[in-house]
Amino acid sequence: MFKAILIDKQDDEQRVELASLDEARLPEGDVTVRVECSTLNYKDALAITGKGPVVRRFPMVPGIDLAGTVEDSTHEAYRPGDAVLLNGWGVGETHWGGLAEKARLDGRWLIPHPSAFSPRQSMAIGTAGYTAMLCVMALERQGVTPERGEVLVTGANGGVGSYAIALLARLGYTVVASTGRLEEADYLKGLGASEVIDRKGLSEPGRPLAKERWAGAVDSVGSHTLANVLASTRYGGTVAACGLAQGMDLPATVAPFILRGVTLAGVDSVMRPREDRLEAWRRLGELLEPGQLDAITRTIPLEEAIDEADALLAGRVRGRLVVDLSSR
């Protein structure tokens, strides 16, 4: 038996509980992992609360991240005792995920656990930090260097935003953080932001083109915010888009693209090829320091994850929530 958060749906009504499950209920897979740590991401909170169409199959164990130790494997790359890491690949959506003491997975989804981090530290980073690193890599590929000018990070108090600030600052960029919680300015400046601005200036409908300011941007918000960021990006700049906290729409025009040569780089972390994952985690190991992880992270037991999902969606969670399963 193992404990897990279980989401089920009957007669269009969703039910969520902390359940004790028989290992025989684990889905198909060639690697069984004893989960040591997971995380509570925005997508997990949507799944748990039912406020977003994240779960595609019921019943479902949420959790798009996990770090743990292989217990059993028929996959050629993994043996019992190996430390492994997983981000994305539809776990917590179409396949049981990491908010459980055990997981059975397709070995192709796993990578060796990065030696630079403990399981708690890798989950403090999780999909949020890994996505932030992919966004930074996208800006680098498009030639956005520190010398080009300011880089904007929207949704700055969230997991992706927090890590994007820390990574960009470590690489020498001048980072401006956009947030709806200006009382968190000291926290954001502690991560490396040189300036903190109110998101209200970006979140309302704006003009097709605005005054040029940003050499680049990392946007996890979408909708009017992304449209306004594009409109104020400097000639030849790049915006890496990875989220939709404000909305899935993009009420923009082609003006930034055809008049200023702006690039909109979409960043997906779920189905990313293995090579990109390994490179992103290698870079994270080089750039992040344990003290930064502690500042961004709070650890909770599995029993608290359901309640924290509501707080996360309400914007009351700063940084990252690690779910510790190792003490069980």
Residue 118 placed within a domain? no
Per-residue pLDDT of the chain (328 residues; tens, 9 = 90+): 999 999 999 888 999 999 999 999 999 999 999 999 999 998 999 999 999 889 999 999 999 999 999 999 999 999 999 999 999 999 999 999 999 999 999 999 999 999 999 999 999 999 999 999 999 999 999 999 999 999 999 999 888 999 999 999 999 999 999 999 999 999 999 999 999 999 999 999 999 999 999 999 999 999 999 999 999 999 999 999 999 989 999 999 999 999 999 999 999 999 999 999 999 999 999 999 877 788 778 999 999 999 999 999 887 887 789 999 986 5
258 and 131 within one domain: yes
Residue 282 placed within a domain? no
Nearby residues of 101 by Cβ (< 8 Å), 6 or more positions away: 2, 3, 4, 34, 35, 302, 325, 328
Residue 275 placed within a domain? no
135 and 107 within one domain: no
For 327, how many CA atoms within 13 A lie in the half-sphere containing its CB? 8
Write the Ramachandran bin of 149: left for phi over 0, alpha for psi from -120 to 50, otherwise beta.
left
Nearest partner of 245 among 138, 166, 172, 161, judged by Cα: 161
State the burial class of residue 56 (Cβ atoms within 10 Å of its Cβ: 0-12, 13-18, 19+). Answer: exposed
Which letter, b or e, does each residue of 165-202 get, where b requires 16 or more Cβ atoms within 10 Å of its Cβ?
bbbbbbbebbbbbbbebeebbebbbebbbeebbebeeb
Type of residue found at 143? G
Q: Evaluate whether 70 touches 81 at the Cβ level (below 8 Å).
A: yes
Which pLDDT score is estimated for 327? 64
Residue 256 placed within a domain? yes
Which pLDDT score is estimated for 314? 84
Nearby residues of 306 by Cβ (< 8 Å), 6 or more positions away: 5, 16, 18, 48
Record the pTM. 0.93
Determine the Cα angle at 310 with ends 308 and 315, to 5°.
95
Q: Is the peptide bond before 114 cis (omega within 30 degrees of 0)?
A: no
How far, CA to CA in Å, does 143 sit from each of 110, 214, 237?
Answer: 31, 14, 8
Token readout for 276 is 């990109």
Residue 243 placed within a domain? yes
CA atoms of 295 and 154, how far apart (whole Å): 19
312 and 223 within one domain: no
Residue 300 placed within a domain? yes
Which pLDDT score is estimated for 292? 75
68 and 175 within one domain: no
192 and 149 within one domain: yes
134 and 239 within one domain: yes
Token readout for 171 is 């690489």
Query: 């992304």: which residue's tokens?
Result: 226
pLDDT digits (tens, 9 = 90+) for 174-187: 999 999 999 999 99
Residue 245 belongs to domain spanning: 127-266
Residue 120 placed within a domain? no
Residue 122 placed within a domain? no
CATH number where 216 lies: 3.40.50.720
**What total of structural domains would you count in the chain?**
2
218 and 315 within one domain: no
Token readout for 206 is 């704006």
State the burial class of residue 67 (Cβ atoms within 10 Å of its Cβ: 0-12, 13-18, 19+). Answer: buried
CATH number where 79 lies: 3.90.180.10
Q: Evaluate whether 225 touches 199 at the Cβ level (below 8 Å).
A: yes
236 and 153 within one domain: yes
Token readout for 76 is 């050629």
227 and 138 within one domain: yes
241 and 134 within one domain: yes
Q: Evaluate whether 294 touches 320 at the Cβ level (below 8 Å).
A: no
Which pLDDT score is estimated for 315? 79
148 and 105 within one domain: no
246 and 132 within one domain: yes
CA atoms of 60 and 66, how far apart (whole Å): 15
